[in-house]
Amino acid sequence: MRGLFLFLKFSLVGAAAIGIRDSPDQCPGYNAINIIEHDNSLTADLVLAGDACDLYGSDLLNLKLLVEYQTDNRLHVIIHDADEEVYQVPESVLPRPGSKTPGSHRDNPTIRFDYQPQPFSFRVLRGDQVLFDTANTNIVFENQFLHLRTWLPDNPNIYGLGEHSDSLRLPTTSYTRTLWSRDAYGIPSNTNLYGNHPIYVDHRGHAGTHGVFFLNSNGMDIKIDKLYDGRQFLEYNTLGGVIDLYFLAGPTPKDVSMQYAEIVGLPAMQSYWAFGFHQCRYGYRDVFEVAEVVYNYSRAHIPLETMWTDIDYMGSRRVFTLDPLRFPLEKMTELVNYLHKHNQHYIVMVDPAISDIDNEAYNRGRVRNVFLSRDENDIYEGAVWPGVTVYPDWFNPETQPWWNNEFERFFNKSYGVDIDGLWIDMNEASNFCAWPCKDPFDYAQNNNLPPIPPPVRPAPRPLPGFPNDFQPQSSQHGKRSSSLRPRDTKGQKIGLPGRDLIAPQYQIANAAGSLSNKTIDTDIVHFGKGYTEYDTHNLYGTMMSSASREAMLQRRPQTRPLVITRSTFAGAGAHVGHWLGDNRSQWDQYRISISQMLQFASIFQIPMVGSDICGFGGNTTEELCARWTTLGAFNPFYRNHNEIQNIPQEFYRWPTVAEAARKILDIRYRLLDYLYTSFHRQSETGEPFLQPLFYIYPSDKNTFANEAQFFYGDALLISPVQDVGETFVNAYFPSDIFYDWYTGQMIRGEGKTITLRNIGITQIPIHIRGGFVLPLRSKGAATTSELRRRGFEIVVAPDRDGYARGKLYLDDGESIHPANSSMVEFEYGDGQLRIRGEFGYHEAVLVESVTLLGQRKRKGVMGVRHGNSSDHDVSFDADRQVLKKQVHIELTAPTVINF
């Protein structure tokens, strides 16, 4: 029996938390009393059902239960303390949805609540199917520990619970997903990473799909495992907060994603140019080298939309400063003006940590008391890139106007760096000084931060288009100031009484060690309402991101701001996009980037996402970079970026990579309106754009664990080469019709794997799914501005029944509230392509051709009626089974094309 008891104890709590204590199953749970059922809800009191367990804190004796039927497909269950003193995620960070039509949902809900009062347990059901079940388990609700378990089907298909770099379909035994933001260089597997998204999707094939969102920002371990008797379970073990659950009925994976968006917010729409290609590198030595990279892309005939600069541009790596020798203001202004003149864009990085050495931004913030502090005379200090730093308190109402003002000053078009977007790093928040960081000044002085590189020598050749004086001048850097003296630590506020905010008894499996290690001390109390960093740590990155979006809107109120951030929490996608962090130039990370991208885009509702193409850390190879270049073109956010001590990896550095870039950027740019239309749909409805195969084929078991392929929108199946030296892909084709992008060849999918061979290093397999109409630009371009002047080719890919459909969204490409827009609908069937919809935005280009795939013989003469159009040549390729007609159609009125 003792062996069994120890096994149960290990299954139920983290190894780091196991001692001589009992397991949660030994705790008494709660009884439900005073149960009242309303039209649209249920309330009850929960009282401790026995002697306090005090497993990892103090049991709360009295709780409240609220069950809300918020929509036919969404159920809200919250269990909180009776006095409502326990921390909950602030509405200011994540506003809560309410009932859409009160009083109607309990009549015939898709999803419903069932319970057992003594001891209290509950189930959530969809029809007769049990989706969530706490029976025969005990809820533990303590001041520093929550425990809740639900039973799962055998070998379940569980997805989500990020951020992680594990498999898309999560392991089902001995798996722990820890949520606690940390600076996770190299994005290792099976550890907590930068962001926190406690939602999971449970996919049950023919039986349907549902989702569970646990709205809690405290550190937690979420475990998926089996008991000794084989029963499968998922359990939450958190360091505090309340049990706040949203159940999403589905029944399809897409439905779950859309229902989740109703809770956390629809994704922010991006500007058209944001989907172009972006280039960055940590280690550009000065503004002249940045200019040379811009020139080299142009010379290599590789489209470059946006140039980025890492912390290199800063004076001694202090935010809101320029290095006066390497990145002088007058040269930065010339660079930005050059980019804008050529319809290109410029973005720089901003970190949250503010140096308090010779820094006007710090001085202005100090006056407004915007930095985290232990009291008004004791500002909290850490150590990051510039040395000793302080951190903005995003809960302080003075912080937003201070942040806005710093953006207005530094990113001013008249006197400053006129950026077009923003890049946020280090906002977990990162702190190089390990806990306990008693003397950040001493740490900064005695630890080797990467050196600032010397200015580059004069460019070896002229840079066409740049002024004649755009050449570096010889200079030497002065010594960095070290005038800051360390401050003594004074008293602290601990928030709720009796809590250990530094070392709670339950220890989550934080890969960084203790909660405060390499981050802000968790006993810091925020301004105003007294939120502690212990409770709100996981919100810091998202709060900085939304504040930065607001600051960007202050600069350009009518323009969609592109903000890319590293640390995220649920709901961040309503404000910003995300890059997947500091990955490595390795094949395994190339592969796992697919799973990571799909998690954010399809589950977490942050569709503006992508990895550092070719890898950030370590030296890439020509083959890996070429393959990643082609894969990266199907990331919504497409950026090449790598690290200072590694070889440069701009696409023009290798012949095959340059060729791959030219080929795939031509394809990406031709598809850009398809991407833009699909992204707009997600911003309006939450319907995901990037999708795993099981989102499209939810009943096909062969798709459930497939993370090597994905759908780019509903119409394009992408099947990347998987490993070094390979020129083939074992691609799975569900039972459907597909057309090869390059040849037009039809493939009749039979639910089997097909080996695609002879895939050159500059290629990636792309297949069009039957049943769709694709609006393509007639050819690519050097910039998205130029691309918008290209005409359209409409590609029709009929399904088995000869039917196809598609949409094209058009607007000015950047306004938050466009004055005019068009939603053009294409429908093909019975030998006709019908073009109709709303034609509010008049694109000054024409539909120049229509291509019909899957044609075994040439059809008769095609005609066009309605609209301003004319007929031209018709061509038929018997080998490719492609029929193409040149047309002249304005997208201003309904049109019918007869085949």
Catalytic option among 166, 244, 582, 659: 582
Q: Name, in order, each residue with C-beta under 8 angstroms of 879's C-beta and a sequence gap of 6 or more.
A: none
Whole-number Å distance between alpha carbons of 817 and 788: 19
Nearest 5 degrees, angle CA 204-CA 205-CA 211?
45
Q: How far apart are CA 613 and CA 621, in angstroms?
A: 12
| Cα angle 593, 594, 598; round to 5 | 115
Residue in 286, 292, 425, 535 annotated catalytic: 425
Beta carbons of 735 and 772 less than 8 angstroms apart: no
**Beta strand pairing call for 74-81 and 62-71:** antiparallel
Q: What is the CA radius of gyration of the chain?
A: 28
Tell me, yes or no, if 262 is annotated catalytic: no
10 Å Cβ neighbour count for 274? 28
Residue 582 is a catalytic residue: yes
Cβ–Cβ < 8 Å for 75, 69: yes
506 Cβ contact list (under 8 Å, min separation 6): 13, 14, 17, 55, 56, 57, 144, 145, 237, 239
Helix (H) or strand (E) segment spanning residue 465: none
Distance (Å) of CA 332 to CA 293, 466, 477, 699 = 14, 12, 18, 55
Q: Cβ(194)–Cβ(114) under 8 Å?
A: no
> What type of residue is 859?
K
- For residue 672, how many other CB atoms are within 10 A of its CB? 22
The catalytically annotated residue of 183, 244, 356, 428 is: 428
- The CA-CA-CA angle for residues 416, 421, 427, to 5°, reads 100
Pick from 753, 842, 853, 744: nearest CA to 799: 853
Specify the residue for token string 């989702």.
211
221: helix, strand or coil? strand
Q: List helix spans (H) across 556-671.
A: 587-598, 622-632, 655-670
Nearest to 264 by CA among 79, 88, 97: 97
How far apart CA 881 and CA 533 sit, in angstroms, is 63
897 beta partners: 833, 864
* d(C-alpha 429, C-alpha 413), whole Å: 29
- Run of H or E residues at 260: helix 253-264
Phi-psi region of 335 (alpha: psi -120 to 50; beta: other; left: phi over 0): alpha
| Sheet of 306-309, strand order | 609-610, 577-579, 562-565, 421-424, 345-350, 306-309, 277-279, 638-640, 612-613
**How far apart are alpha carbons 185 and 161 in whole angstroms?**
20
- Amino acid 751 reads G
Q: What angle do CA 86, 87, 88 make, to 5 degrees?
A: 120
Q: Long-range contacts for 288-291 (Cβ within 8 Å, ≥24 apart)? A: 288/331, 288/455, 288/456, 288/458, 288/459, 288/470, 288/471, 288/472, 289/456, 290/335, 291/335, 291/338, 291/459, 291/463, 291/466, 291/470
Q: Can you tell me whether residue 403 is helix, strand or coil?
A: helix
830 classed as catalytic: no
Kindly state the tokens that stand for 109: 């809900």
6 within 8 A of 21, measured Cβ to Cβ: no
Cβ–Cβ < 8 Å for 169, 705? yes
Active-site residues: which are they? 425, 428, 582
